[in-house]
Structure 1
């Protein structure tokens, strides 16, 4: 069902501000699409530059990466760790990574890949389930590019 992944990636390119504001939360500005330069990343992946302002006022330029995934995938933690590592190497900036699951189903994605022996490594990412999107909240926050995916119409 990768057609859903690819379609959502296309929509990201049409409404990058809405997707970035939704996954990053808080104050986000200076959003600019990044070229999908990694061969492993297709249209089911979306990457943008953004300046995110934290609650306490600090601003930081980050790369926002979103993976659109139709079905649950046990390999997602290691895949996301790989994407995050390659993006850090490529852009030399912090990465704000998220997976958005597109089909209602049982999802057991911990949002982290880690190991501790012989050394420690951890890559964290957000796990979002599209069927949990609240249409009223999206309307209130004016994140209209994602309204189609919300429970607002169902």
Structure 2
């Protein structure tokens, strides 16, 4: 599973309360969820010119307010790791200290580990020399610890239970594509039957689609089976909307001999597909998106339609749009 942290970063930002509720219940119970939760990713590179420890920035940083008012402002720093790395405890300590040094407020660091090694579970940094010692303990979520309770994960209402199940099933079905297809279909059906909002269905479907990748022939079979299921349940298949929008954009302009009027209509169709896809994924759009799209040359619209399907945030899309 390449690029493990990027899908997790997107989900953690979009569904931070659900992640904390599932993986760190004591924090969930203590956080004042009526207060604004702030993602501070843009601040991470500013922590220190040398903050690219190990060639990477810290994964996620949020500020929250506690309920009791004592040290009410707290920072939550999260790292996502998919393979054994002996430098992880040191990184956790360095990031924790640099965040504390910048804000001088309490910092809680959390590591989410997706590797299959049950024995590797680093949860502290410790250094001692002469009469000096320094220690930091941090909570660790080991996804494989949930493997024995897979039925419980599948029945759980928190969407991160299905995220965890998808990760475990991806490891179990490596080299077994037909079994993986059946497991993937079951997970997607559960997304619908759990009654999540359309935005949650799309977001968590994208994660399942990424972690349980299939060869093209089985992916086509999956699409067919999902279409049948959609008809039986009278539920919209959100991910198919995105894919059809992308295919529609790619096919536009392929036929030769188009009139100018047809070309203008096709460009309008591409722009509408971009707006529809972004709105479905991220909700109401900033008012500048549609006017900016009107200024984009037609030959760039297919690129932007693909970006609308794959981007992790509306801010990232906006930056590319205005380049």
Fold-level similarity (TM above 0.5): yes
Query: Structure 1 regions of 5+ residues with no counterpart?
Result: none
Q: How much has 1:117 moved relative to structure 2?
A: 1.9
The RMSD of aligned alpha carbons is: 2.9
Partner Cα separation in structure 2 for residue 11 and residue 94 of structure 1: 24
Pick the structure with greater CA Rg: 2
Contact 2:89 2:123 in 1 (8 A): yes
Instruction: Render the CA deviation track for 1:49-93: whole Å, top value 9, x for unaligned.
Output: 22345xxx7854321111011111111111111011011112211
Alignment size in residue pairs: 148
Once the two structures are superposed, the pairs formed by residues 1-154 of structure 1 within 5 Å of their partners are 3-26=3-26, 27=29, 28-29=31-32, 30=35, 32-36=37-41, 37-39=43-45, 40=52, 42=57, 45-52=59-66, 60-118=72-130, 119-133=132-146, 136=152, 143-144=158-159, 146-151=160-165, 154=169
What TM-score do you get using the length of structure 1 for normalisation? 0.77
TM-score norm. by structure 2 comes to 0.40
Cα distance in 1 between the residues matched to 2:102 and 2:2: 26
Deviation, 1:139, is 6.3
Q: Which runs of 5+ in 2 are unaligned?
A: 46-51, 170-323
Q: Tell me: higher relative CO, structure 1 or 2? Use CA pairs within 8 A at least 6 residues apart.
A: 1
* SS of residue matched to 1:3: coil
Describe the shift of the 1:31–1:23 C-alpha distance in structure 2 as closer, same or farther (beyond 3 A).
farther
